[in-house]
Amino acid sequence: MRRWVIAIAALCVLAVVNTGIWQRERQLQSGKVVLLELVPVDPRSLMQGDFMRLSYRAIGDAFPDRVKSPPGEDGRIVVAVDEQGIGRFVRLDGGDDGAPLAAGEVPLRYRVRGSNIKFATNAYFFEEGHGADFSAARYGEFRVAADGEMILTGLRDRDLHALAQKPLPR
């Protein structure tokens, strides 16, 4: 009997994990590409290796007084996406009672952690020694689901070219 309970519990855990993976894979394939302008911050961490801390202009535009009075709970903002895919803050999303989305508008989910407001991630990790490859980053590239969930898929420069690690010189 005990083995059956363990086996059923293990199958349930695997089902939940695999469902989450399947949902993220689907979002990567079919999510809308939205580029958000980055606000530069410190690029290093001794404990975690090389990475770029990320902050976004849309957060600053949506919450200009966030240090003095951060929003109390998680929510969504609405950005207007131009023909290049760049999203610019339009308004806070009021949820079901808010204004309907106009053509070209996309909701983006944010999370409040302490006094910090975060989109999908606030860091982009890369191999040690590759900081220069990403120093030209001006935009974060996201795949956004219809409900505003976001996955960071890369960084782009000011001309919207994708940035990637280059081989280190030998």
pLDDT of 4 higher than 70: yes
| Distance (Å) of CA 146 to CA 26, 47, 67 | 12, 36, 29
R_g of the chain computed on alpha carbons: 19
Instruction: Tell me the pTM.
Output: 0.74
CA distance 68 to 113: 15
Cβ within 8 Å of residue 86, ≥6 positions away: 34, 35, 36, 37, 139
Tens digits of residue pLDDT in 6-61: 878 888 888 888 777 777 777 767 777 788 888 866 555 544 557 778 888 998 88
Give the tens place of pLDDT for each residue, 63-110: 887 655 666 788 899 999 999 999 999 998 875 556 788 888 999 998
Arithmetic mean of pLDDT, 113-122: 80
Contact 118, 75 (CB under 8 A): no
Exposure string for 57-80, b = 16+ CB within 10 A, e = fewer: ebbeebbeeeeeeeeeeebbbbbb
Average pLDDT rounded to a whole number, residues 148-158: 89
Residues contacting 54, CB < 8 A, separation 6+: 38, 41, 121, 122, 123, 124, 140, 152
User: CA-CA distances (angstroms) from residue 36 to 18, 49, 57, 111, 158?
Assistant: 29, 24, 7, 16, 11
What is the distance between the alpha carbons of residues 150 and 129, in angstroms, rounded to a whole number? 28
